[in-house]
Structure 1
């Protein structure tokens, strides 16, 4: 009888230990899964990967770069070709789903191409940053620079909205999406070899350089979430 009781106690102890181990394993598994940082890239055709095979676009290339740097990251391509800052504002709330930890905002190029008042673009970007702030989502704001097509006042107002908003909301700024292509001054002609035929969108080689240049800023964004 004593032996039988001992067996029962042993069985109960083993069952409890097994359940505890399973619970611990599930907890560890959940913690490991939670370590993956989800980054939404809210933007236009530059983000979406216009004119390129899917795997050569900005978002897949950036995710691959981050992973080679050891980041456990998953990126969401929230780029829509032709989108303006108004379009980004209209869809930011449903882009910021609960699993999104951070967001890259690259908008404004189409505003410039359409000659939209920079004051309007600024308010749209402010709305996007306010939405991210409300949901406690970290943001990297990516700037653009306009040409002088609409005059120096337009250019000054457009170019300044990015650093001023970054300071207002205390978010990091990557000054220019095309910074990695060296499109300033005498290097502008050479940079055309890194663009598609339309002269607006980077080709695969251009995207690779953009990702390499911007990557450290995005990696810093991912690490700030952790």
Structure 2
């Protein structure tokens, strides 16, 4: 009788332990949620859904054994002001990390770089308060607004990255801009091949973002 009682107690203890630890295990095994917050260059303008940057980036990271989920929060035509206006929607996705790719349309429209900087600064501040690690993707100004505009615009991104201490990728279209074979007929939006180049070049910076997140998570669990 005593033996049966001991076995029963042992079984109950095991079940109870499983109930207590299962939420923690579930949290530990949940994929890292990364919101790709940008404009048409993120959304995948003119491309099949499976060729958009977030889809291709998720595939590349999973091929490395990283458990991630990319959320495509790109809206074609969005400016930094538009991104700031819809930030609550992106935060509602409860991301762990964010890749911010905004500013190309500001540059194309000749928006005052001071406004671009103020909008991005507000976005980064909100992300920081929410505890979301950020990779900021920089953009370069088109040449048609003159040297002063170009200098002011191009300085916005590295300055903000330094001020907020975020991971910085200097030029989102590196290796793609100005190459007809990697762009759609409009000369502005990458083809699927162009997206693959973007993913390959930004991947080391995304790894840094993920490694920072892993280190921060480990510190919190101690």
Decide: shared fold, TM above 0.5.
yes
Is 1:222 matched up with 2:210? yes
The equivalent of 2:219 in structure 1 is none
SS state of the match for residue 180, structure 1?
Answer: coil
Q: 1:195 aligns with which of 175, 180, 183?
A: 183
Higher RCO (C-alpha 8 Å, min separation 6): 1
Q: 1:98 to 1:146 in 2, by over 3 A?
A: closer
- Equivalent in the alignment of 2:151: 156
Count residues with an aligned counterpart.
Answer: 214
The 1-side partners of 2:103 and 2:183 are apart by 19
Superposed CA RMSD: 1.8
- Report the structure number with the largest CA radius of gyration: 1
Pick aligned residue for 2:193 from 181, 196, 205 = 205
1:72, 1:55 → 2: CA distance?
Answer: 19
**Cα deviation, residue 178, structure 1:** 0.9
Map residues 76-225 of structure 1 onto 2, 5 A cutoff: 76-97=71-92, 99-181=94-176, 183=177, 188=178, 191-225=179-213
- TM-score, length basis structure 1: 0.88
Q: After TM superposition, which residue ranges in structure 1, 4 or more long, deviate above 6 angstroms?
A: none
User: SS at 1:128's partner residue?
Assistant: helix
- Superposition deviation, residue 134 in structure 1: 0.7
Match of 1:43 in 2: 38
For structure 2, the residue ranges without an aligned partner over 5 or more in a row are 215-222
Runs of 5+ consecutive residues of structure 1 not aligned to the other structure:
none
SS in 2 for 1:77: strand
Cα distance between partner residues in 2 of 1:27 and 1:92: 29
Distance 1:98 1:205, change over 3 A: closer
Q: CA deviation at 1:15?
A: 3.7
Q: TM-score, normalised by structure 2?
A: 0.90
